[in-house]
Chain A
């Protein structure tokens, strides 16, 4: 491997940092440059809506650091903060920044992630917040500290619901307004979505569905949320939890194929040779889920980083290419109302689902003819087994058979017995669309 090779990574969050880390781990000894348009060292986002707002991080803000400060220097990774990439150049491969600096490179990795989506008419109004960055989290935490008051969350997605949990636990009166007729409706069938938010009542969070929210009517400070049917909800603070959009704007005119993310092959290669994309901004095919979509999840960003680092290392060697591909089932977790919700595979609202529960533990399987996803509440071990079923292409009925036993199976490894209760099984037909 040549020493002069330079890998330029744009975006220094979990995906970008993973590429750098895995390159070093896989023995790449060329130059690694990481560009970030943020002004702070790379941090982790999942705790922002959870332990950060709740104030329970073991070492406070320091716990958010993706790697400790010394890591970049020690691994010879050049981290350039406050540097915004404006263009990928392909005549001389590299990146031009907003300050017109040009970084030539042998490989460019796009890891610019996603931004919080806003709603027309809402963005930038005082008292209306989103949560994506550490800065957003600081503003939100400061607002919550001034409370308690009345918080309205628009959107019953994972992040909105996590914010609702934290605010309610801090004494706020929380109202969640969702346009669809069920929570988490972008990913889950209604019965499963409702199962995930069962804890809301106990946490004093009111969630209402089929809520058609109007644009705010003028005025500097939004003091209420108005629905099309005339109902109003008073609010001291409003949080928009309506999803994210991939940060691909800067790639316009670069010749890379982008629609809802940068289109990649199974090793993360874009339509341009030696340009790669990873994490929330990238659309990869996955051989287990048979989907070619963006996956906005932490572990996926990690997996992408490892695979692209492996692929780049291969490209710099003279051996014939046998690039690694993404062949593990993606998974993610969320903390909803004090319960650990985990999902592996690819779920969609129109799938069949079967739910089994034993006490507080829940295992659900989703699929068509094939098993497509496994959801578990307070039962990570079930996700471990479920992932294996997904990887070997199990049928839906195999998944159902397994789920019937899985909820009641001991969460501890064999040997330790839990007090098993007979599982109660519930079958849900697909939702009519």
Chain B
């Protein structure tokens, strides 16, 4: 699974960082999310899903 971030839609809420701090960060200068790990391993999938659910801007997707 691959994490896809639509930077256009990202509103910089940082919810993804709250849910999955190992997978995401927030760029303080642009106030946009950064994907730290694009291809989460199996152990990180639950966290990745929670991050996708938490994004109010629907800017995150998990793709096969």
CB within 8 Å of B: which residues of A?
A: 18, 44, 46-47, 51, 58-59, 63, 66-67, 298-299, 302, 306, 331, 333, 340, 342, 344, 378, 380-381, 383-385, 387, 411-413
Contact = CB atoms under 8 A, between A and B. Distances in A.
Given A299-B15, A306-B53, A384-B17, A59 B22 contact: no
Nearest to B23: A413
23 contacts: A18-B53, A44-B56, A46-B13, A63-B57, A298-B56, A340-B12, A342-B14, A378-B28, A380-B14, A380-B15, A380-B17, A380-B18, A380-B26, A381-B21, A383-B14, A384-B18, A384-B19, A384-B20, A385-B21, A411-B28, A412-B25, A413-B21, A413-B36
A300 to B, nearest CB: 11
Contacts of B17: 380-381, 383-384
Interface residues of B, number: 22
Given A58-B11, A342-B14, A381-B21, 15 more contacts: A46-B56, A51-B11, A63-B9, A66-B58, A302-B54, A306-B53, A340-B12, A340-B13, A344-B18, A381-B25, A384-B19, A384-B21, A411-B26, A412-B25, A413-B22
Nearest to A305: B53
Nearest to A303: B53
Interface in B1-51: 8-9, 11-15, 17-22, 25-26, 28, 36
Contacts of B15: 299, 333, 380
Nearest to A51: B11
Contacts of B25: 381, 411-413
Contacts of A47: 11, 56
Contacts of B9: 58-59, 63
Interface of B: 8-9, 11-15, 17-22, 25-26, 28, 36, 53-54, 56-58
Contacts of B8: 58-59
A411 B29 CA distance: 12
Contacts of A340: 12-14
Nearest to A361: B28
Nearest to B21: A384
B8 to A, nearest CB: 5
B3 to A, nearest CB: 15
B56 to A, nearest CB: 6
Contacts of B18: 331, 342, 344, 380, 383-384, 387
Contacts of A333: 13-15
Contacts of B57: 63
Nearest to A418: B28
A378 B12 CA distance: 11
A39 B13 CA distance: 28
Contact of A302 (B13, B20, B53): B53
Contacts of B22: 413
Nearest to B54: A299
Nearest to A50: B11
A399 B62 CA distance: 34
Contacts of A67: 58
| 4 closest Cβ pairs, A-B complex | A380-B14, A384-B21, A380-B17, A383-B18
A18 B58 CA distance: 12
Contacts of A18: 53
A47 to B, nearest CB: 7
